Amino acid sequence: MRQRNTVLVVNPATEEPIADLEQAGVEETDAAVARAREAFAAWRRVAPTDRAQLLRRLATLVEENGEELARIESQNVGKPIAGARGEVGMVAQVFHFYAGAVDKHYGETIPVAGGVDMTFREPLGVVGLIVPWNFPINIASWKLGPALACGNTVVLKPAELTPLSALRLAELVLDAGIPEGVVNVLVGPGRIVGQRLVEHPDVAKIGFTGSTEVGRTVMQGAAGTIKRVTLELGGKSANVVFADADLERAAAAAPYAVFDNAGQDCCARSRILVERSAYDRFVGLLVDATRGVKVGDPTEEATEMGPLISAQHRETVASFVDGEPLFRGDAPNGRGFWYPCTLVEATNEDRVAREEVFGPVAAVIPFADEADAIRIANDTPYGLSGSIWTENGARALRVARALETGVLSINSNSSVRPSTPFGGSKQSGFGRELGMHALEGYSEVKNVYLATD
């Protein structure tokens, strides 16, 4: 008989166990893929208006159960409750968006000689969705929405550290009336369950969000079956502040662009590039703003930053800070994987500026002029997100066009909206999530020619 393995889920703010779950392995993965495969034939035939109606019901159920989902996410990830509520709100918006997208994603007719040429958007089949621990339910919805809207069935693998919101979401999927087998959730380690999904011959596509390192493994594994992949990977984004910017606004916003979610955010603007002529003034404002970030108990309404995900991750984050930083904030002592907001002065060659810290550590880097800012911002293997702060509109657009990155904000640090495409360039991955663009990654174009002459 196979030994029963379990997954102990811990609250990172208290280090207390909050769940003990059965761990899936290869056998359970194969069974989930078989269930999804079985469900595919009927799901793809569901009339578009009915499929839209089911997704709309799911969105409504997420809204109705929003407080419970937010508490689950806050406890499991250590997220401040106010932020977790916002994230769950976005999940509902994402399902509403894709409910509306079902019947707006269609083919075309192409003028040809001797007949009619038409294209169809076909679902792929069973898709494997592999998501990380930093925004578990949010990132799951970004993949589930378009996958289901296109008529695919799915096997979703949350990170082992944070499986609880995905399990609750799977219950809501059934409550919404989406048939059994269309959405399957597996709790198990990436190197076993994730890898099996990647290699499984009956899985048509992998939608992956995670580190660049594991993304590389996914791409290699997918080659065996010529599987489609969408990769949303790491980042080292630049927040570029020109001297002609509204410095007060830019400095007030900058801490939240890197310390939000305790810096465990692929979009974190963890390189703050500041024009030298405004450097001293901006750094003074930045330190003041960072001092104001409220770090502490995630259950408190006013808390803005919670702990890191694990003790091991805290060690990794700490390894990026040598000597005395420019600024180090306060964090609770006691139990929990706490790490304070930290600002360090750096050059773009330093390790803290080259590697993804994935914690509340920002590198502040001066630049000489526009050309220097573009050079430094692009001098990274990553290209996910970023911001440009300037009152000069032409410069804003010039720099936006020159930066090698998938998502940018001007005089703002926001990166994601349900209706706009999100994704990376360079080693931050490829493919787009959210908006109508995501539907491209969960469907195939079929071309049909009908001879009429």
> Considering beta carbons, is residue 19 or 252 the nearer one to ligand NDP?
19
The minimum distance between CB 89 and ligand NDP, in angstroms, equals 18
> Considering beta carbons, is residue 389 or 430 the nearer one to ligand NDP?
430
Contact 13, 307 (CB under 8 A): yes
The DSSP secondary structure of 28-44, one letter per residue, reads HHHHHHHHHHHHHHHHH
The minimum distance between CB 177 and ligand NDP, in angstroms, equals 28
> Considering beta carbons, is residue 141 or 195 the nearer one to ligand NDP?
195
Supply the DSSP symbol for 179. Answer: P
Contact 351, 320 (CB under 8 A): yes
73 is catalytic: no
The minimum distance between CB 270 and ligand NDP, in angstroms, equals 10
> Considering beta carbons, is residue 191 or 291 the nearer one to ligand NDP?
191
150 is catalytic: no
Structure-token pair, residue 30: 């194969």
Residues that bind ligand NDP (CB under 6 A): 130-135, 139, 157, 159-160, 189-191, 194-195, 198, 209-211, 214, 217-218, 232-235, 266, 356, 358, 384, 424, 428-429
The minimum distance between CB 184 and ligand NDP, in angstroms, equals 15
Name the catalytic one among 87, 160, 232, 433: 232
DSSP alpha helix (H) spans, 78-161: 81-101, 136-149
> Considering beta carbons, is residue 210 or 386 the nearer one to ligand NDP?
210
Contacts of 275 (CB under 8 A, 6+ apart): 241, 242, 243, 366, 367, 368, 369, 373
Q: How many residues does the chain have?
A: 453
Buried b / exposed e over 190-200, threshold 16 CB at 10 Å, is bebbbbbbbbb
Element (H, E) at 332: none
The minimum distance between CB 233 and ligand NDP, in angstroms, equals 5
Tell me which residue of 286, 359, 275 sits closest to 326, measured CA to CA: 286
Task: Match 């974190």 to its residue by tokens.
Answer: 268
> Considering beta carbons, is residue 121 or 417 the nearer one to ligand NDP?
417
Contact 93, 269 (CB under 8 A): no
Contact 152, 166 (CB under 8 A): no
Integer Cα distance of 275 and 260 in angstroms = 24
Name the catalytic one among 73, 150, 266, 433: 266
The minimum distance between CB 114 and ligand NDP, in angstroms, equals 46
- Active site residue ranges: 232, 266
